[in-house]
Amino acid sequence: MTTEEALMRIRHAIILLLCAVLLSACGSRDEPAGQPPVAAAEPADLLLLNGYVYTVDAARSVAQAVAVKDGLIQAVGSDVDLEVLRGPDTEVIDLGGRMLLPGLHDSHIHIFGIVEPDVCSLRSQPMTLAEMVPYLQACIERYALAPGAWLAVDMWNFSEGNQVSEAYPTLRAALDAVSAEHPIILWGNDGHHGAANSLALATARDAQGNTVGLSAGTLASVFAEYRDLVGVDDDGEPDGGLHEHARGLLAVPPRRDPETLGALLPQINDVLAGNGITSVQDAALDPAFLPPLKAFEDSGGMRFRLQVANRLEPADYRDSLTGEVNLDAMLEDLAAIRASFAGSALIRPQAVKIFADGVVEGNPYADPPMLPNAAVLQAYRQPRFRYDAVAGSVDVVGYVDTASPVCEEARANMARFDDKAARDAFRAEHGFHPGQCTISYGVMADAEDFMDAYVRRLHEAGFTIHIHAIGDRAVRAAADALAQVTPPDRSNPQRHGMAHLQLVHPDDQKRIGAMGLYLAWTFAWALTNPEYDLTVMPFLDDVTDAGGIYAPDHYAMQNSYPARSMAEFGAVTIAGSDAPVDDRSPRPFVNMAIGVTRQGLDGNVLNANEALDIHQLIAAYTINGARHLNQEASTGSIEPGKQADLAVLDRNIVELYESGNGIGIAETQVDLTLFEGEVIYRRE
């Protein structure tokens, strides 16, 4: 898509929104938040009695009963206290001792991905390349794809499975074997990785829109800036792996159209309600998907509160001649989007998403191994992997010394290795591919001076800033940008923050905490997973020593997802599932269980000192999330006058934690979810 086409698409979405607002203004409802509690003498519409009501008020008090009137919490207390509110028409629900929480807040989710559409999907299941080939061939048959039609595949597990074989030495070889008539693209289940066959790679277009294809030649010329985002084989040709915005080089048809995804919104209601979630922040929403959301709200069917973190691509606003990004145009479009929802009760496009970097997973099955691309402070290590074809596994057998004279000479004369004979001779003499002499610190998504300027402009315009930062260099750069607009008193009135923070330098842990930033953690990732960790740890630390990949003194082990440390330094902990990344389900209680244990299925624990307690996890999903979404006056705790957004659980997660069974929290089920006092989910 050209810059002009992208801008036209965004402006078209804004026009649709403005039209929708004009048509529905007379019927919009006012947000009842902030109204005084109903007088105690008025009978309640609903009484929830005999429960363990974890209120999340300032004292973390526990009550027994809640009264609801006109969609608001009328009163909180004991069964005896609230009995006076029982009237002839009052509905009564006996909680039977069950736990009642405020409706949960998922502060980093992608709502249109949490429902499984009818498309070819690998469903995050690990597969060898040999297993993947017939599976994808069956998709072509199932969907009766005509020759030349694209096969787009969802939920590819990029970090587990994908073992190579003699028949399929690369992703590209495997996907070529699937079909010689269909361009194929695999979309990673993390939103950052992808893979393509030869037909798809041949559709790559340059900045002028000319189809030139991805090859060793174009990677060395027109696509040189994408070199760190494209996997290559021994010959320097693309091996099929494409990451981040390199995927956008291909002429892939749009994944979903707004109308199709809009039809999924009733199911999205159900998924959220089934998990006890009543408020969310969509962490990177394309403006094109706002019109169906507005229509859904206007229909009266919407049963969740939504803060939108708008995602505009800077490349769509870049001048083709000067390379400058038109920040004025970006801010104008964002302001128009926000204004179009001024009368909305449930949708607030108040936040803006910025990507600081990509992801920290490499590919140990590639030869040479593909390095991660997240921006890091120390150069990535170059591990030497040994592949066991029988076991389908890889081990680290050593490291390339990138500072050695051999590598210095190789880097100074890298062009000579375009010749296969020269590469083979180098490998025979030194035992590794010359490409492993590369020194890489990963890449920033955009130049740091651009991020600084963008953050300043967004802050001045009153937006909440939400920055994706994975590597420690990206986290530092994001902190630098946000430091410009953070008051010295840590008040952070616009609730700026970051998401993910997979690797954070100790100095930045203290600094970010002192800034009072809101940090969205996906706790389900803060655990040990040997197959996944082999794509990360060997590139950050020497894992050939006695401690292996989980040596407690390794930098990554000490500084991965440092949630507790940063909370102690003053950061505000919030929770974000990032669904559908890794799993389509928001799985809040899996996140809580791992947040309090940091325990993997293998029994290992990822830096146990960074585990939080259950009260911190509940706050992250309730009152802290409400604050980040700028709605703590109406949600986030069970107090009179607030919205009756509530979730009834089948077990007491506080008692589970206090009994030493934190991991058991993962099995928690939601029995009942209420939104504005209405039961919107009841477990069968």
Residue type, 126: P
Distance CA 338, CA 356 (A): 23
The span from the CA of 588 to the CA of 582, in Å, is 14
pLDDT at position 630 is 95
What are the domain boundaries of the chain? Answer: 118-249, 383-437
Place of tokens 């992801």: 359
Q: What is the model's pLDDT at position 18?
A: 52
Is the pLDDT score of 34 beyond 80? no
Task: Report the alpha-carbon distance of residue 534 to residue 549 in Å, rounded.
Answer: 8
CA–CA gap between residue 512 and residue 505 (Å, rounded): 10
For residue 280, the Cα-to-chain-centroid distance in whole angstroms is 13
Per residue in 287-307, pLDDT (tens digit) is 999 999 999 999 999 999 999
Most confident of 252-261, 526-535, 544-553: 526-535
pLDDT tens sequence across 155-198: 999 888 899 999 999 999 999 999 999 999 999 988 889 999 99
Inter-residue contact 385 to 364 (CB < 8 Å): yes
pLDDT at 72 (0 to 100) = 98
pLDDT at 313: 93
> Which pLDDT score, from 0 to 100, does residue 14 have?
62
Average pLDDT, the chain: 92
Say what the pTM is: 0.90
DSSP 3-state helix, strand, coil percentages of the chain (rounded to 5)? 35, 20, 45
Confidence band (pLDDT; 50, 70, 90) for 15? low
Q: Which of 89-103, 219-233, 471-485, 558-572 has the lowest mean pLDDT?
A: 219-233
Band (23; pLDDT cuts 50, 70, 90): very low
pLDDT tens-digit map of 505-514? 999 999 999 9
Residue 609 tokens, joined: 């000192």
**Per-residue pLDDT tens for 48-87?**
999 999 999 999 999 999 999 999 999 999 999 999 999 9
In CATH terms, the fold of domain 118-249 is: Diaminopimelate Epimerase; Chain A, domain 1 (3.10.310)
As given in the structure block, the two tokens for residue 279 are 């408020």
Burial of 420 (0-12, 13-18, 19+ CB in 10 A): exposed
